[in-house]
Amino acid sequence: AQSVAQPEDQVNVAEGNPLTVKCTYSVSGNPYLFWYVQYPNRGLQFLLKYITGDNLVKGSYGFEAEFNKSQTSFHLKKPSALVSDSALYFCAVRDRGSARQLTFGSGTQLTVLP
């Protein structure tokens, strides 16, 4: 079985401060991990993914994520938040050894305060 947890429903951060959106996963094998962002009344936009190799993955719009196998985490980070980063963020996982489809986390609403 595969699952994803996003422990925070809501994250608030001041503009210019670093932001972190947390994600932990559970798979029986090795994971493929993804982050998506969703703006109001829009589809999901792909930000970045971890497949293998370097644990620090860089993605779109200045976002990055760090894969930590021992902590089964894949937290999304950005050094300096923008008001325009305010959106709903989803982490997703797929078990490398499984034919299963993507499993999404429950989502984290990020609000960047001016």
Least Å from the CB of residue 44 to another protein: 4
Tell me the closest approach of the beta carbon of residue 13 to another protein, in angstroms.
19
DSSP 3-state of 81: coil
Q: How far is the CB of 76 from another protein (least distance, A)?
A: 15
For 14, phi then psi, to 5°, come to: -80, 145
Residue nearer to another protein on the CB measure, 29 or 62: 29
Which sign, positive or negative, has the C-alpha torsion 83, 16, 113, 107?
Answer: positive
When computed from its CA atoms, the radius of gyration of the chain, rounded to whole angstroms, is 14
3-state helix, strand, coil in the chain (%, to 5): 5, 55, 40
Query: Between 12 and 45, whose beta carbon lies closer to another protein?
Result: 45
For the bound state, the minimum distance from the C-beta of residue 25 to another protein, rounded and expressed in Å, comes to 13
Which of residues 102 and 113 has its CB atom nearest to another protein in the complex? Answer: 102
The angle subtended at Cα 84 by Cα 66 and Cα 13, nearest 5°, is 60
Chain contacts with another protein (rule: CB under 8 A): 32, 34, 36, 41-46, 49, 51, 88, 90, 94-96, 98, 101-102, 104-107, 109
77, β-bridge pairs: 20, 64
Closer Cβ to another protein, 59 or 78, answer by number: 59
